[in-house]
Amino acid sequence: MFNSFNQIQWEYLFNFELVRDSLPLLLQGLRISMVIALFSMIFALLLGLVIAIMRMSKHWIFHLPARVFISFMRGTPLLVFIFILYYGLPVIGVQFNNPIVAGIVGVSLNFAAYNAEVIRSAILSVPRGQWEAAESLQMGFPETMWRIIIPQATRIALPPTFSIFMDIVKGTSLTSIITVNELLYSARIVAGRTYESMTMYIAAALIYWVVCIIIGYFQQRLEKRYNRYLNQR
Amino acid sequence: MIDVINLKKSFDNTTVLESINFSVKKGEVVCLIGPSGSGKTTLLRCLNLLEIPNSGAIKMGDDQLTFSERKFKKNKLLTLRKYSGMVFQGFHLFPHKTVMENIIEAPLIVKKQSKAKLIKQGEQLLEKVGMIDHKDKYPDSLSGGQQQRAAIARALMMEPAIMLFDEPTSALDPQLVREVLKVIEGLAKEGQTMVIVTHEMNFARRVADKVLFIDGGFIVEEGPPEQVLDNPSHKQTKTFLQLLDDEQ
Ligand SMILES: Nc1ncnc2c1ncn2[C@@H]1O[C@H](COP(=O)(O)OP(=O)(O)OP(=O)(O)O)[C@@H](O)[C@H]1O
Ligand SMILES: [Mg+2]
């Protein structure tokens, strides 16, 4: 430990100049993080919707695979799953020629399970009367799902879904371990070269934080839009 | 218009409807009364095919569907459902759609009719149920009575041969009951065929051509309101009406 406050070497804690100089590299890394995150959000959401609907099916052909998928993905660390994809699959002849693709696949599949559970509980929380009203008006399952249930479920699913989006952004940092040169990877390179670990990792942390603040802003706007029809008496 | 023959419906091990038989003629208004838990809602839901009977048959217009424990064709069920529109005790309007969007939704999606034409038709209907001033509001900003009138318009938009009402006013504050009953009476005057579950006996006296009293899984008594409500011949009916009187 340090003896007195004055002995802390502040420039080792946060070296602004170093951050400024390495910013282009960090932002390049951020770009790759964002590519992985954006693709993963879209895939995880779409796949999550499909799996949620499968999971709610009465027929085991649909709900059994969905349950196993959700259980496995939630029950295993994302990092381990990414290792399996990138280092394990080549053994059976499946090789990702780009680790970014492996990263997207890993993050998407893993978070799809969480999305599926959020979507399922949101769909189930729409009152049964809504299904029955639509059914009695001769609407079929797909139309009812898409036009009546999903819009109402979306409002309920928004906050937890955006938490997942933030987790996805943070989860992309795990792909640095399979040599994806994303944000954390770039920070590590500079830290290794300059021995200024504190500065570089704090810089990386702050950048992740800013991204999540922006995501949070979109969440707020969407929530406002989806709450429009409530309580306007 | 409707013939119900030996209809039976049970949930798991409890039989709610033992054997139901009755008919409704075109233009007739039938009120269904009976104690709580006697299966009024279940019967109405069977008529709308929201519930699938275990056995018996339902005939509507030229279509008949005979039920058995075995599975049957789904499209037959849809054919029969086209005959009826349902108004629920709890309204069940779509909260994320305005009144106008609510009422044009089904014909737009199911019948694929043109939106402009539906909006015109919707405006006429909303005029009729006294909701035209609220056409662009969301259900959450409406009173219960207004929501129920919108729900009636929504069912009417599909132009069903038969309207089914399940205690349309029992979720409403007393001062809102009248406005909804007036709309239903208006429909009765126009000759709309209707089956109405209700506890409003005075209303039943005014609109009903026929009253059915259901208890213990059977239609115990049926006839014109003067007979069933004022001069019942069965003990069960008398007990039920006595209980209702005591409450009021
Ligand atoms: N989905 C269901 N599963 C199991 N039992 C049910 C179901 N729906 C209704 N029941 C049972 O069937 C019986 C009749 O119910 P129903 O709702 O048809 O009665 P009701 O005459 O409409 O009563 P109320 O006047 O209280 O509305 C009740 O005992 C009820 O518990
Ligand atoms: Mg009932």
Cα dihedral B40, B41, B46, B52, rounded to 10, equals -120
Tell me which residues of chain A have a pLDDT lower than 50: 233
Q: What is the DSSP letter of B103?
A: H
Confidence of residue B81 (pLDDT cuts 50, 70, 90): very high
- Choose the residue to mutate in B41, B166, B212 for probing ligand 1, maximizing ligand atoms within 8 Å of C-beta: B41
Assigned domain for B39 exists: no
Assigned domain for B169 exists: no
Assigned domain for B54 exists: no
Residue B106 in contact with partner chain A when CB distance is under 8 A: yes
pLDDT tens column, B104-146: 999 999 999 999 999 999 999 999 999 999 999 999 999 999 9
Q: What is the spatial distance between Cα A184 and Cα A19, in angstroms, rounded to a whole number? A: 14
- Domains parsed from chain A with CATH numbers: 35-231 (1.10.3720.10)
Residue A230 in contact with partner chain B when CB distance is under 8 A: yes
Q: What is the DSSP string of B175-222?
A: HHHHHHHHHHHHHHHTT-EEEEE-S-HHHHHHH-SEEEEEETTEEEEE
Assigned domain for B140 exists: yes
pLDDT at A233: 44
pLDDT at B246: 82
Q: What is the DSSP string of A37-53?
A: HHHHHHHHHHHHHHHHH
pLDDT tens column, A169-226: 999 999 999 999 999 999 999 999 999 899 999 999 999 999 999 999 999 999 999 9
Q: Could you tell me if the CB of B170 is within 6 A of ligand 1?
A: no
Instruction: Identify the bridge partners of residue B179 per DSSP, sorted by sequence position.
Output: none
Tokens 């409704």 belong to which residue? B24
- In this prediction, residues B44-64 reach a mean pLDDT of 94
Assigned domain for B207 exists: no
Assigned domain for B139 exists: yes
A211: CB partners within 8 A, 6+ apart: A30, A33, A34, A169
Confidence of residue B247 (pLDDT cuts 50, 70, 90): confident
Report yes or no: B166 and B41 within 8 Å, Cβ to Cβ: yes
Domain of B98, in residue numbers: 94-159
Domain count, chain B: 1
Tokens 């306007």 belong to which residue? A232
Q: What is the CA radius of gyration of chain A?
A: 22
- Choose the residue to mutate in B8, B11, B240 for probing ligand 1, maximizing ligand atoms within 8 Å of C-beta: B11
pLDDT tens column, B164-202: 999 999 999 999 999 999 999 999 999 999 999 999 999
pLDDT at A25: 96
Assigned domain for B64 exists: no
C-alpha pair distances (Å), A192 with each of A16, A179, A195, B216: 17, 15, 5, 82
Assigned domain for B146 exists: yes
Yes or no, beta carbons of B92 and A135 under 8 Å apart: no
User: Would the pTM count as exceeding 0.90?
Assistant: no
Q: How large a percentage of chain B has pLDDT more than 90?
A: 89
